Structure 1
Amino acid sequence: MTSVHPPPVPGRELSNPPTDGISNLRFSNHSDNLLVSSWDKTVRLYDASANVLRGEFMHGGPVLDCCFHDDSSGFSASADNKVRRIMFSHGKEEILGRHDAPVRCIEYSYAAGQVITGSWDKTLKCWDPRGASGQERTLVGTYPQPERVYSLSLVGNRLVVATAGRHVNVYDLRNMSQPEQRRESSLKYQTRCVRCYPNGTGYALSSVEGRVAMEFFDLSEASQAKKYAFKCHRKSEAGRDIVYPVNAIAFHPVYGTFATGGCDGFVNVWDGNNKKRLYQYSKYPTSVAALSFSRDGRLLAVASSYTFEEGDKAHEPDAIFVRSVNEIEVKPKPKVYPNPPA
């Protein structure tokens, strides 16, 4: 009788996962608390280290994004067009404001003290969460976008907005009257995710066609010469390339390397500066829908959740895995220079 070896462990699976597609997950900047948004109309708060569900908050529609304010509160973006503030300790929520269509993205800017939302109504809105309840008193500004907003990312006072139609707008939060830069994605297909480099020099952009572009804010010729794009999350089968959407990008907070997650069920770790793949984790049960490193980079949360890229079909249940990150997986390898000639 042959022995059957179990598959490699993809990390610790969190108990009480969402019952429908996972739209995003985020680690807190202050603890190992993990916030998870889902199409099952909930936001869940976990203690990822203890594997404990701390709170569950029901919304009026699928929740498309979430973010922390601090460890006592967070914010959510929903398909019912509403932006909510969630008070974890009180188990309560309040409406911060509304859009005219589903709210796809939400970020909290510590630099500006504002909540920023992007919607399929082709607008970006900024909110002051310190104001009294009510849309009129908390809305700081509304900024039209060329198309539906698909992804947002912040670094310092810089905000990058990626929309349908491959548009990319770069804003300075201190002057939102117009974009600092208007760009077009260097990738030929629909944008899935944008994430700013932790050092503030640029951003990574992924597409549905298994590619990631590395871009720089500095418009000088020298800086723009450094940008590039690379193929990932694809395989060859029977002589043809099978290409998978790249759903998620997450930068390591210590080393500046980054992980990508795709519809192939894989998570890859990349050294963008040296243009190398550092690591590939064992395959997850279904599409990788979202990724987040903890504040110190010791943990990586992975949402294994079918994203319906092949339509409605039987698929593995949605799950959240939290894996411990080894330095060898995320630390750039030093360049080896040949010995000079004698």
Structure 2
Amino acid sequence: MNNTSQDMEVQHPPTDGISELQFSPQANFLAASSWDSNVRIYEIQPNGSSVAKAMYSHSAPVLCCAWSKDGNKLASGGTDKIGKLFDISTGQSTQVAQHDAPIKEVRWVDGPNPILATGSWDKTIKYWDTRQQTPISTITLPERLYSMDSVFPLLVAGTADRHVLIYNLNNPSVPFKTVPSPLKWQTRTISCFPAGNGYGIGSIEGRVAIQYVEEKGTQQNFSFKCHREGGTSVRDKATVYSVNCISWHPVHGSFSTAGSDGSFAFWDKDSRQKLKSFPKAPAPISTSCFNLNGSIFAYAVSYDWNKGHSAAGTQNQNKIMLHAVTDEEAKPRKR
């Protein structure tokens, strides 16, 4: 167990559940989307302190956010069924996307001109040139979109009923492959490998699968249990928790998992071992991310709706914590 007592708390956090954290790929700017209908941007100082830099609003809870590759723009989507784009240089936000149901995920798709992909509970993914009012393309999904991620040339979408759709962005309108989730329970999170040749997928049942896309890599596929308590024997059933987030270290290629049990851990997919466990937070960890060089791990201690509306009381805290990552914690070890 490593100590998190030195972790720094971000000042002026969201006032309701934190849905997504994303670090800019160019600087230590941290974006946070929230159920309080706002998106906030913080600048993280070298000493770990934070400064609130900007905030813009949706008309309903915000479920997702994503930085453009140049770090100049931040996209977001939410239950108002609208995708917005915030320009860092002007401080202005504009509507750039529209769906018939809440937007669950937004991701930038690399290409000659950056394209924004939005995935929704209306069972579609839409690709947008943010300079135009109509989508470039609309993809019909078999079910509501729950999670989506993209690392060129790969885009992976997970929907209700455990469908996983894999797209080659060189031909983005037709699935390269459609497969059932390797996990038996509802998909909670999907995160593409930094190399763009596979993805990690997590479920509500405390399990993660590592999946390679190409046929030659499938022998390296595996799944493992995590974010569970008890259950050392068949009779002694475990208490299982949702895996809310999988984040990849940008330098070492290791990854983190964070869950409803309030814990996070670092893992190495190649040697299939846990690198580090951390003490539990007093509430679920709803989302997490590494900064551009992997020296900071941000995680949100916030109610994640795993017990439904009945447990969503006003006493629930919403904190964004910053953990200083060491090589010892995140660097893969020899097998």
1:49-128 pair list within 5 angstroms: 49=45, 50-69=49-68, 70-111=70-111, 113-128=114-129
* TM score, norm. by length of structure 2: 0.93
2:19 aligned to 17, 23, 44, which one?
Answer: 23
Map Cα deviations across residues 48-92 of structure 1 (whole Å, 9 max, x no partner): 234001011111111000011243321111110001111233222
* TM score, norm. by length of structure 1: 0.91
Q: What's the CA shift for 1:329? A: 0.5
Q: Which residue of 1 aligns with 2:10?
A: 14
Range that drifts further, 26-35 or 166-175: 166-175
Q: Give identity over the alignment, percent.
A: 36
Rounded to whole Å, the distance in 2 between the matches of 1:10 and 1:201 is 36
Q: Evaluate the alpha carbon distance shift between residue 237 and residue 272 of structure 1 in structure 2; reply closer, same or farther with a 3 A threshold.
A: closer
Q: How many residues align?
A: 322
Range that drifts further, 48-57 or 14-23: 48-57
Q: What's the CA shift for 1:225? A: 2.0
1:286-325 pair list within 5 angstroms: 286-311=283-308, 312-313=310-311, 314=313, 315-325=315-325
Q: Which residue of 2 aligns with 1:150?
A: 146
Q: Secondary structure at the match of 1:250?
A: strand
Q: What's the CA shift for 1:10? A: 5.8
2:275 is the counterpart of 1:274: no
The answer to whether the Cα contact below 8 Å between 1:62 and 1:80 also exists between their aligned partners in 2 is yes
Rounded to whole Å, the distance in 2 between the matches of 1:316 and 1:267 is 19
**Structure 2, unaligned stretches of length 5 or more?**
none
2:272 is the counterpart of 1:264: no
Q: Which residue of 1 aligns with 2:218?
A: 224
Q: Which residue of 2 aligns with 1:333?
A: 333
Matched to 1:236, the amino acid is G
Matched to 2:33, the amino acid is S
Rounded to whole Å, the distance in 1 between the matches of 2:296 and 2:72 is 21
The answer to whether the Cα contact below 8 Å between 1:35 and 1:46 also exists between their aligned partners in 2 is yes
Map Cα deviations across residues 186-235 of structure 1 (whole Å, 9 max, x no partner): 10000000011112221110000000001111124xx2222111000001
Larger CA Rg, structure 1 vs 2: 1
**Structure 1, unaligned stretches of length 5 or more?**
1-6, 336-342
2:30 aligned to 34, 44, 56, which one?
Answer: 34
Map Cα deviations across residues 164-186 of structure 1 (whole Å, 9 max, x no partner): 11111111112123101111101
